[in-house]
Chain A
């Protein structure tokens, strides 16, 4: 029998016992449906995180902190105070802690120089904490706002406008939740407008700084504040220093180290090691979101495990279905073997039936998952998750769907081997002997 006929016959045979085939298909359907949904959730969330933190776009950037005290980190409870490790005292009273802020010391000017002179680092920007009292637009009320000067490491997820530039103009990416408050009709309307930021100097006097909105940023999963460009940062620092009489010791919680654009992973790793030897903790954006993604992948993994258990159960359904089928078709198998069909072809026929049942169940399951998932995801995006624009909770990737279908077909093939072997080894005369 040629392969085309074999496959065609296998497909026809699966439709001979419709009820039995349908029930087996339903079992597979459930597993494939679940697996498709869980993998889509995993993909949806990773994609969202990527768009939020610009993991890929911020290549060539390392966030550098003072390494946490590893000797004491192993101990339970809070870190013991170590006078030798005391660094620039009290870097910025009241400054918000950046990533890895607490427990680690601040970076001194010497540290910044040390980082800059590390092989592979092209430039270093110390992260300065600036705070604003309020933001206001023409005629609107004043609103509190937190500012995020680590903008060099962020590839923004924009609703409108363009990313920040290094121009000598004050630029801000306005978080979209401020649109209504500041009286903008929509994101497009806000781009190009000028807002005023108020900041207080060292002697308590308030200063106004005019800022241009260059883009509107979607609300982020991690509230980082409004991104501002270097020029605005400098302007605000200047305001904050105004009237300061005593020179505070200079220290930074973190710094952004720029690497060569085309640095390979190996090079980045060696730079990180280099910095670690000097007592710094350097993290790529990917490292920073890594921990978050580990949790998400853990949850997705558990869900996938349930789906796989469902599929294994469905696999036994296939074994059962085909064993019954082999039993029922004993005579037919005997006849085909008597007419010269080889055992290998008989095996092929029955395992193709198993694979086809697997294909039916998984294809229908995946299709249903895409339909249901897209509907649910769209509904959630406008209701429960509307606070997180840009989050499509389920992302159906063709490659993931194809993988699910292939995995199920693989399981089905394995399940089919037992009945198919039984059919292949059947002795034709036992089947044909007159009872």
Chain B
């Protein structure tokens, strides 16, 4: 519980150059310990997704370092980074990103297929993940024929099928109605509690943020201690969820 799985120190990231240059992150540091659930909270455009992408090794910071299990990610080779993302990370993006014409099962086992796991084992582990999310009866359905909540559960099944250490979730409830969003949140926190999977959740929903062990507030690319006034936030999250 005490060793950090992920550590970021003084992360800077800017987009564009010259007069069009935009500093998305201006020196953010954080450490995430194994088994923790951490919320990255902030308004739209505050740099939450950028920070998550850097932590998930999908992007490199311009300045500052990301340590994974104590090792500087900048020193890792491309292949090792791919391997790390494939084996240790699970992803839930704000959009579902399901392959439209493939079956639910095929979508779920994609990380295992990339890892080179054999067809039979893929099936078994994929079905187990679907069972955990009560979707095993939909295994043969086309991914496009599901409701929003079912799709998000498929996405979560895909994120945990490789038994990851960390699940990154970018606005996991942003696309769902309040009730379905609640179900998805419950699933994520159950995984955190029962399997000890570290959660890094990007959200602008304060209620979801408060269910996490710890919150990191971002404003204009910087970490702030004080949360924004609650009334403003409550209003914003309701508007987004509708």
Q: Name the A residues within 8 Å of B111 (CB-CB).
A: 339-340
A428 to B93, alpha carbons, bound, how many Å?
12
Q: Which residues of B have CB within 8 Å of A5?
A: 113, 116, 119
A339 to B162, CA, bound (A): 10
Q: Does B86 count as interface, using CB distance less than 8 angstroms? A: yes
Q: Name the residue in A2, A334, A338, A429 with the highest tally of chain B Cβ atoms < 10 Å from its Cβ.
A: A338
A342 to B116, CA, bound (A): 12
Number of interface residues of A (CB under 8 A): 22
Selected contact of A1 from candidates B91, B101, B114, B170, CB within 8 Å? B114
Do B114 and A338 touch across chains, with their CB atoms under 8 A apart?
Answer: no
B53 to chain A: closest residue by CB: A429
- Assuming the contacts A1-B116, A5-B113, A428-B58, asked whether A339 and B85 have C-beta atoms less than 8 A apart, the reply is yes
A81 at the interface (CB under 8 A from B): no
Query: Distance (Å) between the CB of A46 and the closest chain B CB?
Result: 48
Instruction: Tell me whether A341 is interfacial, beta carbon within 8 Å.
Output: yes
A340 with B116: CB separation less than 8 A:
no
A-B contact count (CB 8 A): 61
A341 touches B49 (CB 8 A): no
Chain A residues contacting B78 (CB-CB under 8 Å) are 342-343
A339 touches B99 (CB 8 A): no
How distant is the Cα of A343 from the Cα of B82 in the complex, in angstroms? 10
B95: Cβ under 8 A from any A Cβ: yes
CB of B86 within 8 A of CB of A340, answer yes
Q: Which residue of B is nearest A336, CB measured?
A: B114
Task: Report the minimal beta-carbon distance from B226 to chain A, rounded to whole angstroms.
Answer: 27
**Is A16 in the interface zone, CB < 8 Å from B?**
yes
A1-B113, A338-B91, A339-B86 known; A434 vs B49 contact (CB < 8 Å): yes
Q: Is A432 a contact of B97 with CB atoms below 8 Å?
A: yes
Q: Would you call A433 and B49 a contact (CB within 8 A)?
A: yes
Q: Mark B95-131, 1 if CB is under 8 A from A, else 0.
A: 1010101000000001101111001000000000000
A335 at the interface (CB under 8 A from B): yes
Contact B49 A342 (CB under 8 A): no
Q: Which residues of chain B in 60-93 are interfacial with respect to chain A, using CB atoms and an 8 Å cutoff?
A: 78-79, 82-87, 91, 93
Asked if A205 is at the interface (CB within 8 A of a chain B CB), the reply is: no
Given A1-B113, A1-B114, A433-B49, A340 and B83 touching (CB < 8 A)?
Answer: yes
A144 at interface, CB cutoff 8 A: no
A325-341 contacts to B, CB under 8 A, are 331-332, 334-336, 338-341
**Bound: A89/B84 CA distance, A:** 96
Asked if B207 lies at the interface with its beta carbon under 8 angstroms from chain A, I say: no
Majority-rule SS of A interface residues: helix
- B95–A336 CB distance below 8 A: no
With both chains docked as a complex, state the minimum distance between the C-beta of A177 and any C-beta of chain B, in angstroms: 65
The CA-CA distance from A313 to B204 in the complex, in Å, is 52
Task: Pick from A2, A332, A339, A434: contact of B91, CB below 8 A.
Answer: A339
Q: Return chain B residues, CB-CB under 8 Å to A434.
A: 49, 93-95, 170-171
Indicate if the CB atoms of A340 and B49 lie closer than 8 Å: no
Candidates B59, B114, B119, B170; contact of A339 at CB < 8 Å: B114
Encoded as 1 (CB less than 8 Å from any A CB) or 0, chain B from 146 to 177 comes to 00000000000000000000000011000000
Measured CA separation A335–B96 after assembly (Å): 10
How many Å lie between the Cα of A434 and that of B83 in the bound state?
25
Closest chain B residue to A332, Cβ basis: B99
CA A227 to CA B114, docked complex, whole Å:
72
- On chain B, the residues within 8 Å of A16 by CB distance are 101
**How many Å lie between the Cα of A422 and that of B64 in the bound state?**
30
* Residues on A with beta carbons closer than 8 Å to the beta carbon of B171: 434
Q: Name the CB-closest residue of B to A8.
A: B119
Instruction: Please report the C-alpha to C-alpha distance between residue A96 and residue B127 in the assembled complex, in whole angstroms.
Output: 88
Q: How far is the CA of A334 from the CA of B97 in the complex (A)?
A: 9
| Nearest-CB residue, chain B, relative to A9 | B113
Task: Determine the chain B residues whose CB is within 8 A of the CB of A342 once the complex forms.
Answer: 78-79, 82
From B84, B110, B119, contact of A336 by CB (8 A): B110
A294 to chain B, nearest CB (A): 54
- Of the candidates B53, B59, B84, which one forms a contact with A340 in the assembled complex, judged by CB atoms under 8 Å apart? B84
B118 to chain A, nearest CB (A): 8
Residue of A nearest to B101 (CB): A16
Determine the distance from Cα of A267 to Cα of B111 in the docked complex, in whole angstroms: 67
The answer to whether B49 and A338 touch across the interface, beta carbons within 8 angstroms, is: no
Q: Separation in Å of the A2 CB from the closest CB of chain B?
A: 4
Knowing A332-B99, A335-B97, A432-B97, say if A340 contacts B58 (CB, 8 Å): no
Bound form: Cα–Cα A360–B171 in Å? 43
Q: How far is the CB of B201 from chain A (nearest CB, A)?
A: 15
Question: Is the CB–CB distance between B114 and A341 below 8 Å?
Answer: yes
Enumerate chain A residues within 8 angstroms of B85, measured Cβ to Cβ. Answer: 338-340
Cβ A429 vs Cβ B59 within 8 A: yes
User: Which residues of chain A are near B94, meaning CB under 8 Å?
Assistant: 434
Whole-angstrom CA separation of A340 from B87 in the bound complex: 8
Q: Which 4 pairs across A and B sit closest by C-beta, in order of nearness?
A: A340-B86, A340-B82, A340-B85, A2-B116
State the B residues within 8 Å of A (CB). Answer: 49, 53, 56, 58-59, 78-79, 82-87, 91, 93-95, 97, 99, 101, 110-111, 113-116, 119, 170-171
A-B contact pairs, 7 of them (CB 8 A): A5-B113, A331-B95, A331-B97, A340-B115, A342-B82, A432-B58, A434-B49
- Beyond contacts A1-B116, A335-B110: 11 other A-B pairs, Cβ-Cβ < 8 A, are A336-B114, A338-B58, A339-B85, A339-B114, A340-B83, A340-B84, A340-B115, A343-B78, A432-B58, A434-B93, A434-B170
